[in-house]
Amino acid sequence: MKITFKYLAGKLIAMALALFIGVVSSANAQAPQSNKMKKILFVVTSHDKKGSTNEPTGYYLSEVAHPWEVLHNAGYEIDFVSPKGGKAPIDGFNLEDKVNYLFWNNTRYRTKVENTMSPKQIKPEEYAAIFYAGGHGAMWDLADNEELATIAKNIYENNGIIGAVCHGPAALVNIKLSSGNYLVDGKKINAFTNEEEKAVKLDNIVPFLLETKLIEQGAIFEKSGLWQEHVTVDQRVVTGQNPQSAHAVGEAILSLLK
């Protein structure tokens, strides 16, 4: 067979086209993984009363809005889940805080937090991180929620990140890893301190003192003075002490995600 320039050119074009189609197909096959790793799950409380006081509570707005701003601006999609699903009760509703204002007036995300998913709707493999917002309500319904604990364990053991701020670390006290060890055992952890709980006169109202409980579960507890920003990072677990630490917790989570 006589091989002509035209024949060779045609073969080369066909090979190049096949290679291009293969590259595109490979990229498309990998796209779901890439998109998956751009999602973060925010957990908020469903509990709306401070124990026997009957005073309203819920998730603390700035402890959602400030980490949300950091992670949303970095391109991450945020989903919301609560123990009961549906509308999450809110506390610390201060719209003079410009970040709170931006979050609350973002129609898409306000709709999400007012229509949170239930734990059974969550697929842990879709998330690169899970973050627990505080607010006193977290002390009543996050620590003993086995469904959320399992979700967090699965995200963490899939090389994901666990974050929490203020009373959000209440959710960490009973999370056990596949090894049988508590998640916080032997890790440096930070949360709302006993001194801060006494300062707000709720130390005899909350079901347990968060600092004390974390230490009982093996945490190496770190803290600063009242209302001082303090963030601790240890083995892909990020914890913050109080509302003043919320923005920095978001930044620490983002740093680990990069």
Write down the pLDDT at residue 22. Answer: 45
User: What does the mean pLDDT of the chain come to?
Assistant: 90
Residues 6+ apart with CB under 8 A from 83: 45, 46, 47, 118, 119, 141, 142, 145, 147, 148
Model confidence at 12: pLDDT above 50: no
Range in 4-8, 35-39, 106-110, 219-223 with the lowest mean pLDDT? 4-8
Residues 6+ apart with CB under 8 A from 252: 163, 231, 233, 238
Mean pLDDT of 234-247: 98
Q: Give 138-180 pLDDT, tens digit per residue.
A: 999 999 999 999 999 999 999 999 999 999 999 999 999 999 9
Range in 2-16, 56-70, 129-143, 233-247 with the lowest mean pLDDT? 2-16
Task: Strands of the chain (E only): list them.
Answer: 39-43, 59-60, 77-81, 90-91, 129-132, 161-165, 188-189, 220-221, 231-234, 237-240
Q: From CA 79, how far away is CA 191, in angstroms rounded? A: 23
Write down the pLDDT at residue 26. Answer: 40
Q: Give 71-88 pLDDT, tens digit per residue.
A: 999 999 999 999 999 999
Q: From CA 105, how far away is CA 225, in angstroms rounded? A: 33
Q: From CA 104, how far away is CA 54, in angstroms rounded? A: 26
Write down the pLDDT at residue 199. Answer: 98
Write down the pLDDT at residue 37. Answer: 60
Write down the pLDDT at residue 20. Answer: 44
Model confidence band, residue 23 (pLDDT cutoffs 50, 70, 90): very low
Write down the pLDDT at residue 162. Answer: 98
Model confidence at 34: pLDDT above 50: no
Q: From CA 169, how far away is CA 40, in angstroms rounded? A: 17
